[in-house]
């Protein structure tokens, strides 16, 4: 079973892409999670404690998972590859797929994007998805978690920090895809991932229906994909676009100097994961009323 990764900045279409790939028989797209990334940066007592590790998985998974805490905990033994394999097999079983039919497991995250240790140890295949910055800027501005990136200069710094992380990723096989090339590029992606054409899974064997129903910013992932980015860009304010382009231009030479900022964001995200894990453990150990 091979593990592959789709990485991008937020609002770049990576959830849509993983949902399209998830329909292919033999493929399982895991619920959006930075768990593989944080796995390589945990303290020894965290890495060797299955219960703590299960809580960290939940803390680093940003959409509903079909697994119960006890099921996740039972996956947390062995080396990193063992843990990821066991999580994939358990998730496949929970959504009604035969784990023995899996040949490609896809992990997707837009967080802790500079934490590469496990990806490099696995020498995993990585798909880097980029979307036109005008579309990303507009899309982030419509949701609460993108509120800080509504200022063009701050967004430009944010985007360059992602590019700095992508550049430092040391894996032997990567594929860089533009959102504008979807869905036509899907065949190239499947070829890169060595996904055989085995047809599609049954419609009811996916966790994405629950994701679409519970996450308002992902409500369209189960619908037929239609790329409307060109017409969306045509509706944007010219002055705002020029300002954004200028900010991107002047921050581009700073990309490598910005890498410490990306590391700061990633460490802060890991801190948030640990806080959620602490709350999860308290909840799981609290006596039932």
pLDDT digits (tens, 9 = 90+) for 184-221: 999 999 999 999 888 999 877 787 777 766 666 566 67
- Cis bond upstream, residue 183 (ω within 30): yes
- What pLDDT, on a 0 to 100 scale, did the predictor assign at position 151? 85
Mean pLDDT computed over every residue of the chain: 90
Residue 255, in any domain of the structure: no
76-107 confidence digits (pLDDT tens): 999 999 999 999 999 999 999 999 999 999 99
Question: Into how many domains does the chain fold?
Answer: 1
**What average pLDDT does this structure show over 126-147?**
82
Residue 87, in any domain of the structure: yes
Cα distance between residue 96 and residue 99, in whole Å: 9
Report the half-sphere exposure of 262 (CA within 13 A, side-chain side).
27
Residue 150, in any domain of the structure: no
* Residue 289 contacts residue 197 (beta carbons within 8 Å): no
- What pLDDT, on a 0 to 100 scale, did the predictor assign at position 280? 96
**What average pLDDT does this structure show over 142-160?**
76
Residue 249, in any domain of the structure: no
Helix, strand or coil for residue 78? coil
Cα distance between residue 124 and residue 92, in whole Å: 20
**Total length of the chain:** 289
162-176 confidence digits (pLDDT tens): 999 999 999 999 999
- What pLDDT, on a 0 to 100 scale, did the predictor assign at position 137? 87
**Band (143; pLDDT cuts 50, 70, 90):** low
Which is it for strands 27-29 and 125-130: parallel, antiparallel or unpaired? Answer: unpaired
Residue 79, in any domain of the structure: yes
Residue 141 predicted with pLDDT over 70: no
* DSSP 8-state assignment for residue 30: P
What φ, ψ does residue 233 adopt, rounded to 5°?
-65, -35
14-69 confidence digits (pLDDT tens): 999 999 999 999 999 999 999 999 999 999 999 999 999 999 999 999 988 999 99
Residue percentage of the chain with pLDDT more than 90 = 72
Cα distance between residue 236 and residue 244, in whole Å: 12
The CATH number that applies at residue 200 is 3.40.50
Give the predicted TM-score (pTM) of the model. 0.91
Which is it for strands 104-109 and 27-29: parallel, antiparallel or unpaired? Answer: parallel
Q: What is the dihedral of CA 162, 151, 268, 178, to 10 degrees?
A: -20
Domain that holds residue 11: 2-134+169-224+267-282
**What average pLDDT does this structure show over 260-266?**
90
Paired tokens of 149 = 């990136």
Using the Cα atoms of residue 131, residue 164, residue 150 and residue 243 in order, give the sign of their dihedral.
Answer: negative
* Residue 165 contacts residue 259 (beta carbons within 8 Å): yes
Residue 148 predicted with pLDDT over 80: no
């Amino acid at each position: 079973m091979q593990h592959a990764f789709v990485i991008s900045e937020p609002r770049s279409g990576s959830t849509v892409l993983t949902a399209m790939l998830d329909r292919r028989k033999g493929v399982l797209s895991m619920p959006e999670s930075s768990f593989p990334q944080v796995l390589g940066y945990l303290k020894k007592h965290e890495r060797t404690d299955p219960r703590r590790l299960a809580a960290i998985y939940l803390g680093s998974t940003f959409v509903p998972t079909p697994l119960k805490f006890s099921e996740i905990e039972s996956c947390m033994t062995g080396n990193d590859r063992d843990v990821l394999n066991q999580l994939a097999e358990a998730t496949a079983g929970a959504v009604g797929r035969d784990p023995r039919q899996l040949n490609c497991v896809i992990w997707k995250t837009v967080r802790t994007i500079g934490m590469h240790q496990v990806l490099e140890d696995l020498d995993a295949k990585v798909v880097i998805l980029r979307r036109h910055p005008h579309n990303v800027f507009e899309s982030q501005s419509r949701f609460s978690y993108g509120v800080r990136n509504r200022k063009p200069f701050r967004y430009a710094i944010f985007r360059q920090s992602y590019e700095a992380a992508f550049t430092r990723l040391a894996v032997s096989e990567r594929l860089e895809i533009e959102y504008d090339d979807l869905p036509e590029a899907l065949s190239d992606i499947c070829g890169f991932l060595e996904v055989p054409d085995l047809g599609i899974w049954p419609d009811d064997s996916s966790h994405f229906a629950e994701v679409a129903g519970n996450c308002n910013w992902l409500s369209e992932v189960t619908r037929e994909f239609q790329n409307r980015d060109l017409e969306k860009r045509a509706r944007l304010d010219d002055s705002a676009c020029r300002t954004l382009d200028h900010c991107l231009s002047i921050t581009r030479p700073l990309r490598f100097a910005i890498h410490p900022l990306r590391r700061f964001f990633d460490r802060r995200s890991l801190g948030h994961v640990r806080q959620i894990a602490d709350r999860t453990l308290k909840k799981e150990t609290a006596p039932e009323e």
